[in-house]
Amino acid sequence: MSARTSEREPGRAPAQALIRLGGMLRIGSDRTVIALYTLTLLLVGFGLIMVLSASSITSYLADQGFFGGFWRQVIFAVIGIPLMLVAAAMPVSFWKRYAWALFGLGIVLQLLVFTPLGFEVAGNRNWIQLGGVTAQPSEALKLALVVWVGAVMQRKEPLFGQMRHELIPVVIPGALIALGVVLLGKDLGTVMIMAALVFGAMFFGGMSWKTLGVTAIGGALAVAFFVLSSPNRMARLLSHAGGTDDYSGIDWQATHGLWALAGGGLFGVGLGNSKAKWSWLPAADNDYIFAIIGEELGLIGALLVVVLFIALTVVMLRLIVRARDRFGRAVVGGVLVWIVGQAFVNIAVVVGVLPVLGVPLPLISAGGTALIACLIAIGVVISIARDAARHDEERGLR
């Protein structure tokens, strides 16, 4: 458009920009994209309902009214969903181009927990506070890490098959730096999820079995060391194994979580009627929200959550098969292990299969940083799905 035309039609350029933006945000007819949006919004919507119920008593006791925790989570969802749409609209080339910058930013944000902005929660220094806003930088680092691993694997693809090129720099020093800065804050649960995320990206991205085996053994030895060297972690492990019976102490949360689940029966006591949320169950709206789901909605409601995450798994696995390149497969695989893997770890903790690890239920638990990071991550996955759909259409036209 010439300058003369722009002067005659001053509103035309903004209108065209809006049209382009609308086209970028268009969902389209691809079933994978539609399924990803649908399952994500169902999980977030269900989570908002359960946060409203689970947080009502603690919010009231904190002088925030019965809806304090709920409105806070709504604000995070209102921020996160548009960011997911924007991330989904970005071309895959955008994520490849800025992967290193995102990774560096993620490391810098995580290091802020060791400045005066950082503070501890339950013994873990993994939070920052700026004004009245609190955030967990490790959630942003998860997103940056999975995109970075995918970009590095794509770039080093010609050298795959040689272990040193598969390990460097994805594992050494990349993943070790990212996990190390989180571990300095003593949050082993988050570190384990991040390690699984990296391993998932490596597995679905096509790393050799030899490299995967070495990485898995190294990771297992590291976890064993950090558990055995911590009295608190050992106490939780022994508690889970039946080595303690400290009902009023370390066993309190796990025991009341199981009681809440058992009290729900098949159909539950009804939405909003939980007894455990009346200050009996710590983190009722966060790490143990699945116990409140089981209590209020029963086995049926708990299985509904499991089915939604299984459906999300199936959709992402199908996308991994369709992805155009190693970057797409690695990123989708990493996000799959992050979100769905963390969901089943959380559920396993609540039902007593695993010891208490302190990880929330993705897309459902209260927590703004975690919700926003997961939504943006799914936006990146949708970006890859849209790229795969365009590629399929081009091949069909040929």
Report percent pLDDT > 90 for the chain.
77
**What does the pLDDT read at residue 250?**
77
The arithmetic mean of pLDDT across residues 298-314, rounded, is: 98
Predicted pLDDT of residue 246: 63
pLDDT at 398: 39
pLDDT tens-digit map of 51-103: 999 999 999 998 899 999 999 999 999 999 999 999 999 999 999 999 999 99
Looking at the chain, the whole-number percentage of residues with pLDDT higher than 70 is 90
Question: What's the pLDDT band for 5 if we cut at 50, 70, 90?
Answer: very low
Q: Give the span between the Cα atoms of 172 and 80, in whole angstroms.
A: 32
Q: Residue 322 — pLDDT band, cuts 50, 70, 90?
A: very high
| pLDDT tens digits along 187-200 | 999 999 999 999 99
Place of tokens 């800025």: 98
The reported pLDDT for the residue numbered 15 is 54
Residue 135 DSSP symbol: E
Q: Are strands 124-130 and 133-135 parallel, antiparallel or unpaired?
A: antiparallel
pLDDT band at residue 16 using 50, 70 and 90 as cut-offs: low
pLDDT of amino acid 2:
46
Mean pLDDT of 207-214: 95
Q: Can you tell me the distance from the alpha carbon of 168 to that of 152, in angstroms, rounded to the nearest whole number? A: 9
Task: Please name the residue that has the structure tokens 């080093």.
Answer: 156
Q: Whole-angstrom Cα distance, residue 308 to residue 175?
A: 30
DSSP structural state of residue 314: H
Per-residue pLDDT, 6: 42
Across 16-20, 97-101, 141-145, least confident range: 16-20
Grade residue 21 by pLDDT with cuts at 50, 70 and 90: low
SS (H, E, C) 334-396: HHHHHHHHHHHHHHHHHCCCCCCCCCCCCCCCCCHHHHHHHHHHHHHHHHHHHHHHHHHHHHH
Distance (Å, rounded) from C-alpha 177 to C-alpha 196?
15
Q: Is 0.85 surpassed by the pTM of this model?
A: yes
Q: What is the mean pLDDT of the chain?
A: 90
- Look at residue 350 and tell me whether its pLDDT is greater than 50: yes
**Mean of pLDDT values over 95-124:** 94
- The Cβ-side half-sphere exposure at 306, using a 13 Å CA radius, reads 12
pLDDT at 1: 45
Give the side-chain half-sphere CA count within 13 A for 99.
21
Give the confidence band of 13 by pLDDT, cuts at 50, 70, 90. low
Residue 198 has a pLDDT of 97
Residues 224-248 pLDDT 10s: 998 888 887 887 777 777 755 666 6
- pLDDT of 240 reads 74
Q: Please give the pLDDT value at position 24.
A: 59
Cβ(56)–Cβ(66) below 8 Å:
yes
What pLDDT is recorded for position 3? 45
